Structure 1
Amino acid sequence: MDSYDVVIIGAGVVGCLTARFLSRYQLRILVIEKESDVGAGTSSANSALIHAGYDPVPGTLKAAMNVRGNSMWDDLAGELDFDFERCGDYVAAIGDEEFQKLFVLKKQGEQNGVPGLKILSPDEIRKRIPNINHDVSGALYAPTAGICDTFAVTIAAAENAQANGVVFKFNTCFESFLMENHQIFGIRTDQGDICCKWVINAAGLYADEVMHMAGSHPEFQIHPRRGEYCVFDPACFQLDTVLFPVPSEKGKGVLFFKTTHGNTIVGPTSEFIDSKDDKAVSIQGLQYLEEQMKKIIPAADLRWTIASFAGLRASGNAVCKNRDVDYTGDFIVEADDSIKGLIHCAGIESPGLTASPAIAERVLQLLRDSGLVMIEKPVWNPFRKRRPCFRRLTNEERNQLIAKDPRYGRIVCRCEMVTEGEIVAEIHAPIAARTYDSIKRRTWCGTGRCQGGFDLIRVVDILARELNLSLEKINKKGVGSEFIVSETKNQGSGK
């Protein structure tokens, strides 16, 4: 039986950043993930915003983790070499009632320790965002808000963790705990038993189920909340910031936000559903997006859409531990009080991405406080360098790259100018791409106007060649999502 000091369940952004932070110490660390890649759950479909911290209720763990996490992103981006931009965000009010709510948000933010918050007049916000609703009554501006690519963050953290000794096992489903006298000594997976001293539950939507398998927190439930989005063609519309409506009891509302790839996205909806796997985009959801987005930017048109998608948020019912605060739906980041060797990161919905480095930091402190001996490695490398992105290079840099490897001179995805060289590099990367979606998320191949219409079969062919597999074995996102059934000639022969 394999033996580790710490096993992390879940390779989303929280799990991978926790692994990366832990890799600084002389510990044997394993991350298990039921999917075929990192960041395949909530981390692959969200708004990718780094929130300033004015929205969470003061005194909650959400608020503390949001503001602390926000302050960590500049250093994190510098060390792990991913795109991060503090573009700021705006909350736009329509009418006097909403305008008064801006002052409530500003006060909340100041209580939470958010710097630089400012109320803008109608003229100021119109000057900054000319196509905003002319009836805008003002806006709250938060300069510390930002954007990133959530998957790029997750893969960067995973690669740096692996470079520092962390082991990743994909297609590995957690099944149960191995315990004696309320002390964990291992876990059971569908790939066999694993011995360990500590388990970190970072299972996202399934964190409540992991808890319950330990006989812990039977009252805690995660109710999935679906958010639908539309991606706009940058040739039709671009916004150089993040624009929120005034939030409601349903959440932060339908917003417009820029991405690190140049698109503008509108969304999300907010709908509680029963299934933890239902990422379908609905007609009702699109209609709701259209209705809500026009309240902020009346000229916005869903015909600008080149793609739509949905993600699921892990909305929990945890009561805030601060007795002075009446709030349900807080984060859980704590050592289990009845099971030795178990730490939970649960109910991590928005602002979970923003908070993720702070959550990882808190997990390390919980491990120390619980008695795990953590000795720093004499040599630890906090840096990871990204691979070349052809479309962002100068012509001189492109020519130099092509001279070294001619595959960088062959364009596979014309919309996003992704080359064969980039795809091959990801297939042979430390955390390797093995599916079409893995290539898509790493290179942005297939995300442009044609949505894979021209590149898909070429990427499938490259994957088959580089992995030495038949075309029938190449899939979209794991076993069961294969593209090709068989050769057409075999169909006629009954094979």
Structure 2
Amino acid sequence: MFDVIVIGAGVIGCGVARELSKYNLNICVLEKGSDVAVGTTKANSAIVHAGHDAKPGSLKSVLNKKGNAMFDRLSKELDFPFKRNGSLVVCFNKEDLGKLQELKERGEQNGISGLKILDKNELMAMEPNLNSNIVAALYAPTGGIVCPYEMTIALAENAFTNGVDFKFNCEVLDVVKEKDSFIVKTNLEDIEGRLIINAAGVNADSINNMVSENKINIIARKGEYCLFDKTAGKTVEKTIFQLPTKMGKGVLVTPTVDGNLLIGPNAIDIEDKGDLNTTGEGLGEILEKAKLTLKNIPMRSIITSFAGLRAHSTEDDFIIGESEDVDNFINAAGIESPGLSSAPAIAEMIENIVINKLNPDKNHKFNPIRKGIPKFREMSNEERKEIIKINPLYGNIICRCELVTEGEIVDAIRRPMGARDLDGVKRRTRAGMGRCQSGFCSTKVVDILARELNMSKMDVTKFGGKSNILLNENKR
């Protein structure tokens, strides 16, 4: 029997698992996908919000502020990319300057430091590619950008090396409360645990409603994005938000930590929690709204589009804590924006709840440090020569667009919680994320996966399940 069962291996579930691995607890994470970070975590704005937007006193405001401050230490311990690039909320009409001031005052109520309203001249000096129709902006220097799936992979690897068990392709079908434990029925096996943490994203309401009479409702809110080539990555340096108006909330324009430009999202409530399709109408909407922010949108530099789902709670705040009618059942539900920004603080909050419930001893062997895969594209020529001497596979470029080597791909497969499919390699190394979008490197990555995992190329998948890359083999 496990002491703790975490349902969901997104940034919240993996963050909680890593925090709890600091104690002598038998922990298991259940994930219905083939890898960590395959739900909401893999497809969002990748923003670490400063914290001026949330309603003062809400969990969102408290945890956003606390979580934001934890990223510097966490990124150094776990070796994932994070940058404090700052953010701007731009205002298009002088009539709305009062709303910009209100937003600043709200941020100050939330305890956010360094907020400043910039006039047009100050703003244009900072971001010369912004549209000339902008009259002012709220500047938040503590805003940042991160790679959410690299962060989650880092959390999971560190949790795993500190003793946490992960079960993939493991879908929860039911949760049954026994006298002193829970039986989690899955498509693979029945799993018993003393305490449950529900971090199931858009499906957290289904998990909660299996055991609690206090029903919750999570709405899947789809957002569509356009991703631009690195040639457009210097268009802006800050993350640019639009001040909400009567025409809507607007879209953001931001650089990514990997040097791309990202525009989006829109917001569409959907019933199908598996619907990640993009639409011409939706993508057209976000690009049209982005024209308010930028002088020119480099349309020819769009390399892909994607959609992600946000877990919107009808309570309009995070739902975190032990269920009132089910002992030892802890929710981390409704974790929408600023969920990524708040994730480290959410994990710590749940850690404290579990400690009070189970009173575990400290794990004195806990190691907080995790080293990521060496990135050939970021090395100097001297560093490249040295790593090729150590491992000749680093001398073989597999992904030309992102300069990813065979050594990095093999490391991604062999390391703890290693990649088992094409998307797993992609998230760990960026192989296939460049301008050609896997056109050149995908067949080579399939070959490496098959070789390293001692499997047929016919069995290699894109993202687990029946997503096989090769369907037929020609025999001559």
Residue pair 2:398, 2:404 contacting (<8 A) in 1 also = yes
Which whole-Å deviations, capped at 9, do the CAs of 1:229-284 have from their partners, x for residues lacking one?
11112224522221111135898531111111110111111111111111111001
Partners of 1:61 and 1:330 within 8 A in 2 = yes
* Alpha-carbon offset, residue 330 of structure 1: 0.6
Match of 2:360 among 354, 374, 392: 374
* Matches of 1:250 and 1:373, distance apart in 2: 51
Q: What is the rounded CA distance, in whole Å, between the counterparts of 1:154 and 1:248 in structure 2? A: 34
Distance 2:25 2:248 in 1: 39
Instruction: Quote the offset at 1:135 in angstroms.
Output: 1.8
Q: 1:122 to 1:452 in 2, by over 3 A?
A: same
| Alignment match, 1:227 | 223
Work out whether residues 410 and 421 of structure 1, in 8 Å CA contact, stay in contact via their aligned partners in 2: yes
Structure 1: distance between partners of 2:295 and 2:205: 41
Partner of 1:349: 336
Partner of 2:46: 48
Q: Distance in 2 between matches of 1:61 and 1:216?
A: 23
Cα distance 1:361–1:236, how it changes in 2: closer, same or farther (>3 A)?
Answer: closer
Question: Residues 319-398 of structure 1: matches in 2 within 5 Å?
Answer: 329-369=316-356, 371-398=357-384
Alignment pair present for 1:134 and 2:132: yes
What are the superposed Cα offsets for residues 7-39 of structure 1, whole Å, 9 maximum, x if unpaired?
100000000010000000011111110000000
- Deviations along 1:407-457, one digit per CA (max 9) or x if unpaired, are 111101000000111101111110110111111111111111111100011
Alignment of 1:406-425 (within 5 A): 406-425=392-411
Aligned to 2:430: 444
Give the match for residue 420 of structure 2.
434
Q: How does 1:189-208 map to 2 (within 5 A)?
A: 189-208=186-205
Does the residue aligned with 2:53 lie in a helix, a strand or coil? coil
CA distance in 1, matches of 2:138, 2:440: 43
The TM-score normalised by the length of structure 2 is 0.97
Q: Which amino acid aligns with 2:214?
A: H
Distance 1:99 1:291 in 2: 23
Retained in 2: the 8 A contact 1:46–1:311? yes
Q: 2: distance between equivalents of 1:387 and 1:127?
A: 37
SS class of match (1:287): helix
Q: Distance in 1 between matches of 2:245 and 2:29?
A: 37
Distance 1:40 1:233 in 2: 23
Contact 1:290–1:301 (8 Å) recurs in 2: no
- Which amino acid is 1:158 matched to? A
What letter matches 2:28 in structure 1? L
Give the structure 2 partner of residue 81 of structure 1: 79
Contact 2:85 2:238 in 1 (8 A): yes
- Partner letter of residue 363 of structure 2? K
Unmatched runs of 5 consecutive residues or more in structure 1: 319-328, 491-495
Percent of aligned positions that are identical: 46
Question: Is the contact made by 1:331 and 1:345 (CA closer than 8 Å) also made in structure 2?
Answer: yes
How many pairs were matched up?
475
Provide the rounded CA distance (Å) in 2 between the counterparts of 1:380 and 1:479.
34
Aligned residue type for 1:154 = T
Give the residue type in structure 2 aligned to 1:231.
Answer: L
The 3 A distance-change label for structure 1 pair 216 and 364 is farther
**Aligned pair 1:258/2:245, yes or no?**
no
1:302 CA displacement: 2.7
Aligned letter for 1:468? N
Contact 1:237 1:304 in 2 (8 A): no
User: What are structure 2's unaligned runs of at least 5 residues?
Assistant: none
RMSD value, Cα: 1.4
How far apart, in 2, do the equivalents of 1:74 and 1:288 lie? 35
